[in-house]
């Protein structure tokens, strides 16, 4: 039997509809919502991602300004740009795109993103607040994991979730959000001994690793729910997740697709957060 497909497309569309309505209200009231994206890389996949955010913003009538500082930008150039955007009252949300130039510490410079405009939870202080249960924007991808499970009515309370990956962008914040939903969370990483022995005891497996096909049927308990956060480019220009969908499909109860799962919900949430920031 094949796993149920937990699509993110319908949820993303619902979030976009709500966002567009709020954006129109804000514009009518004289506060047109604006997102600023700071880029300091020549990385092609990063450029593609930024273009897709700008296009999505345009569709819901949020202005998206891109500040391209070039791949040789210094730490101070990035900080000054972030300071200026924080001071600019017409800007409501700020995204600091990665990767950053060699030698620039992403976490250190992200400290310059003011808390109330940190709509992708990049400032380490936002992660600290999230961990402490204080209001903060979560990184959109981490929030997308929980939102997609909620949308498909997957029970989290009391369930054992194996979170594979511990980055500050996905794994750690997702683990905190899952804890807040009363899940029992085990965080796995590259030093975890016998990953399959851990993940195969979980009710829900979330993969955020960046290795195509790492999670196979042996990593998954029969009937478990699997969320695939991975986005790994293929040689033919496609995209595959961290889950080997062909084998996991035969064993899992439900699985998010790549593309069409966590990705669209992430983009929709970034814009939704921008509206929330503009409304505050």
- Residue 268: exposed, middle, or buried by beta-carbon count in 10 A (0-12, 13-18, 19+)? buried
CB of 32 to ligand NAP, least distance (A): 26
CB of 195 to ligand NAP, least distance (A): 5
Judge contact between 212 and 241, C-beta under 8 A.
yes
Number of alpha helices (DSSP H) and beta strands (DSSP E) in the chain: 10, 11
Binding residues for ligand NAP, rule CB under 6 A, total: 26
What residue ranges in the chain does DSSP mark as E strands? 4-5, 34-39, 63-68, 93-96, 160-164, 184-188, 204-207, 225-228, 232-233, 239-240, 254-255
Instruction: Tell me: does residue 166 bind ligand NAP (CB under 6 A).
Output: yes
CB of 26 to ligand NAP, least distance (A): 25
Q: Which residue among 28, 29, 44, 191 contacts ligand NAP (CB under 6 A)? A: 191
Q: Which residue among 86, 96, 169, 277 contacts ligand NAP (CB under 6 A)? A: 169
Of the ranges 102-110, 117-125, 151-159, 189-197, which one interacts with ligand NAP (CB under 6 A)? 189-197
Residues 6+ apart with CB under 8 A from 68: 39, 40
Q: Which residue among 76, 190, 201, 279 contacts ligand NAP (CB under 6 A)? A: 190
Q: Report helix, strand or coil for 122.
A: coil
Nearer to ligand NAP, 155 or 211 (CB): 211
Distance CA 10, CA 147 (A): 12
CB of 170 to ligand NAP, least distance (A): 4
Backbone φ, ψ for residue 85 (5° rounding): -70, -35
Distance CA 191, CA 41 (A): 30
Residues 6+ apart with CB under 8 A from 120: 95, 96, 137, 139, 140, 270, 273
Of the ranges 26-34, 79-87, 155-163, 223-231, which one interacts with ligand NAP (CB under 6 A)? 223-231
Nearer to ligand NAP, 156 or 162 (CB): 162
Instruction: Tell me: does residue 165 bind ligand NAP (CB under 6 A).
Output: yes
Of the ranges 20-28, 73-81, 206-214, 243-251, which one interacts with ligand NAP (CB under 6 A)? 206-214
Residues that bind ligand NAP (CB under 6 A): 141, 164-167, 169-171, 188-192, 195, 208-211, 214, 229-232, 262-263, 266
């Amino acid at each position: 039997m094949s796993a149920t497909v937990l699509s993110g497309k319908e949820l993303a569309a619902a979030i976009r509809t709500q966002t567009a309505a709020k954006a129109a209200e804000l514009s009518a009231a004289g506060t047109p919502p604006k997102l600023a994206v700071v880029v300091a890389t020549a990385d092609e996949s990063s450029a593609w991602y930024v273009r897709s955010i700008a296009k999505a913003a345009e569709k819901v009538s949020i202005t998206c300004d891109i500040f391209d500082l070039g791949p040789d930008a210094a730490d101070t150039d990035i900080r000054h740009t972030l300071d200026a955007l924080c001071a600019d009252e017409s800007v409501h949300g700020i995204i600091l795109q990665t990767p950053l130039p060699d030698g620039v510490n992403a976490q250190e410079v992200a400290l310059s993103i003011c808390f109330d405009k940190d709509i992708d939870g990049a400032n380490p202080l936002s992660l600290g607040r999230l961990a402490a249960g204080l209001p903060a924007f979560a990184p959109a991808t981490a929030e997308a994991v929980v939102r997609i499970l909620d949308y498909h009515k997957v029970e989290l309370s009391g369930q054992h979730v194996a979170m594979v990956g511990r980055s500050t962008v996905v794994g750690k914040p997702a683990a905190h959000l899952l804890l807040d939903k009363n899940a029992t969370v085990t965080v796995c990483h590259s030093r975890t001994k016998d990953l399959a022995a851990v993940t195969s005891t979980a009710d829900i497996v979330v993969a955020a690793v960046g290795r195509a096909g790492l999670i196979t049927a042996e990593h998954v308990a029969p009937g478990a729910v699997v969320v695939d956060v991975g986005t790994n480019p293929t040689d033919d220009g496609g995209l595959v997740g961290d889950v080997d969908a062909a084998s996991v499909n035969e064993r899992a109860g439900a699985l998010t697709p790549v593309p069409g799962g966590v990705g669209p919900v992430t983009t929709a949430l970034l814009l939704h957060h921008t509206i929330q920031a503009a409304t505050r």
